[in-house]
């Protein structure tokens, strides 16, 4: 590894709102920037922000910041807006690489990674490291049912494939995703795995009793799902399972804490099934307030369909539930099975199977001891394996080793 006295010039790119943290990849990238800064490196950042440039620099400690065009992740028309903003952001990133000539460029996900590759044409010595946590154009397939958007998505797939094949190194979140990327053309020897995690100084046990009394009066059980609520993640499964659970446990409440394009349809389905009294839609909640909602709940839920883009993914939700000591019920998908063990730290259900999800919920609501054990074991696990500070440090070490290896090769040449 590089000695601490060797300063590496690092450019970190994410096409999401990084300050304040807005979910998605922003917790991962925020902690990575802090790790690079703590290790004494010269760090530059390109992202959209909702604060002044000076305030963003102050919060994360970086050298400078390029503010990119942001898009509201919760808006109904976010996909057309992304399509308009992305070319502009790609060109700005490429120009920044040309001017900055960093030792290493860390790009979160493929479109930012393509911008790094364009910039690398003018700075060939820069190492392009793709931080890939999702296959964007597999995940967004549901947005491209026809018309001009399908053509744009087709172009996006080609850019994504190029970013995967041509980046110097890739860091991804699971062994399953690594295998998928190899099938996309990446070299297995150039891929490392650093999973997602949680900041246990933010997500920890707090008193949520007032929230429970306010939003679930008289509830025996509260089940929570939080984050961005998009149709690709199959959130309608929650409503289908809720219908089965409420028929058996009328005083069970379902909290959907967050917002997204799927919410209007979910509310309609809740009303159609006469479940309004058992559902609470909070709207968007800032990260610092989410632990109170989780700690006011009895069980945390994760939903994902069994599709390629989900098989390699882990979400932040399960780590955040565990960090608050709340048990989690997860879809039985390969990457999630890398993280949790059935009956030890989580229960698994068949993806998109409302009856099986309801059965696992019933098992937990009827077994106080099992709920407690899953929550406490999950908490111990995240403290040991999935603390952001440790994971981000590992990520930074890998980038240092890449630069060291590249410099050694240059000296030999």
Could you give the domains of the chain? 9-197+387-412 (3.40.50.2000), 209-385 (3.40.50.2000)
- Give the pLDDT mean for 292-299: 98
Q: What is the pLDDT of residue 187?
A: 97
Question: pTM for this structure?
Answer: 0.93
What's the token pair of residue 411?
A: 């000296």
Q: Please say whether the beta carbons of 229 and 262 come within 8 A.
A: yes
Task: Give the residue among 77, 131, 139 at the shortest CA–CA distance from 108.
Answer: 131
- Give the pLDDT mean for 257-273: 96
Kindly tell me the sign of the dihedral angle through the C-alpha atoms of 322, 327, 331, 332: positive
Query: Taking 90 as the threshold, does the pLDDT of residue 186 lie above it?
Result: yes
- Give the pLDDT mean for 282-297: 96
Q: What is the pLDDT of residue 103?
A: 98
Query: Taking 90 as the threshold, does the pLDDT of residue 406 lie above it?
Result: no
Task: Give the residue among 131, 138, 176 at the shortest CA–CA distance from 27.
Answer: 131
Distance of alpha carbon 335 from alpha carbon 175, whole angstroms: 7
- Mean model confidence pLDDT for the chain: 93
Query: Taking 70 as the threshold, does the pLDDT of residue 73 lie above it?
Result: no
Distance of alpha carbon 366 from alpha carbon 349, whole angstroms: 17
- Give the pLDDT mean for 325-349: 98
């Amino acid at each position: 590894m590089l000695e601490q006295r060797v300063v590496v010039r690092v450019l970190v790119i994410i096409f999401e709102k990084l300050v304040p943290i807005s979910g998605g990849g922003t917790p991962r990238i925020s902690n990575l920037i802090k790790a690079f800064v703590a290790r004494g490196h010269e760090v530059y950042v390109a992202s959209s922000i909702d604060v002044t440039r000076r305030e963003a620099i102050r919060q994360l400690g970086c050298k400078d910041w390029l503010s990119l065009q942001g898009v509201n992740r919760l808006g109904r028309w976010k996909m057309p807006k992304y399509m308009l903003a992305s070319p502009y952001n790609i060109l700005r990133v490429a120009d920044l690489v040309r001017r900055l000539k960093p030792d290493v460029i860390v790009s979160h996900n493929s479109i930012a990674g393509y911008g790094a590759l364009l910039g690398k044409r003018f700075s060939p010595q820069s190492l392009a490291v793709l931080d890939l946590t999702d296959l964007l154009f597999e995940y967004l397939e549901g947005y491209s049912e026809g018309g001009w958007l399908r053509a744009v998505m087709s172009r996006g797939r080609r850019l994504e494939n190029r970013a995967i094949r041509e980046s110097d190194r890739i860091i991804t979140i699971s062994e399953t995703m690594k295998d998928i990327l190899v099938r996309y053309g990446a070299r297995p020897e150039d891929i490392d795995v650093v999973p997602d995690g949680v900041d246990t100084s933010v997500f920890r046990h707090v008193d949520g009793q007032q929230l429970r009394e306010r939003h679930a009066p008289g509830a025996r059980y509260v089940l929570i799902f939080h984050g961005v609520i998009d149709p690709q993640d199959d959130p309608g499964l929650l409503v289908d399972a809720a219908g089965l659970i409420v028929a058996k446990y009328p005083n069970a409440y379902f909290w959907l804490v967050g917002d997204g394009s799927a919410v209007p349809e979910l509310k309609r389905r809740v009303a159609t099934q006469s479940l309004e009294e058992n559902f609470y839609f909070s709207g968007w909640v800032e990260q610092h307030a989410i632990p109170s909602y989780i700690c006011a709940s009895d069980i945390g839920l994760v939903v994902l369909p069994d599709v390629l883009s989900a098989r390699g993914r882990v979400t932040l939700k399960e780590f955040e539930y565990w960090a608050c000591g709340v048990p989690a019920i997860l879809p039985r998908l390969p990457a999630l099975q890398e993280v949790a063990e059935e009956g030890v730290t989580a229960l698994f259900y068949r993806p998109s199977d409302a009856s099986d999800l309801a059965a696992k919920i019933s098992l937990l609501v009827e077994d106080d001891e099992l709920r407690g054990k899953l929550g406490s074991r999950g908490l111990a696990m995240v403290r040991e394996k999935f603390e952001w500070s440790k994971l981000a440090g590992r990520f930074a070490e890998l980038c240092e080793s890449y630069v060291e290896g590249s410099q050694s090769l240059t000296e030999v040449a």
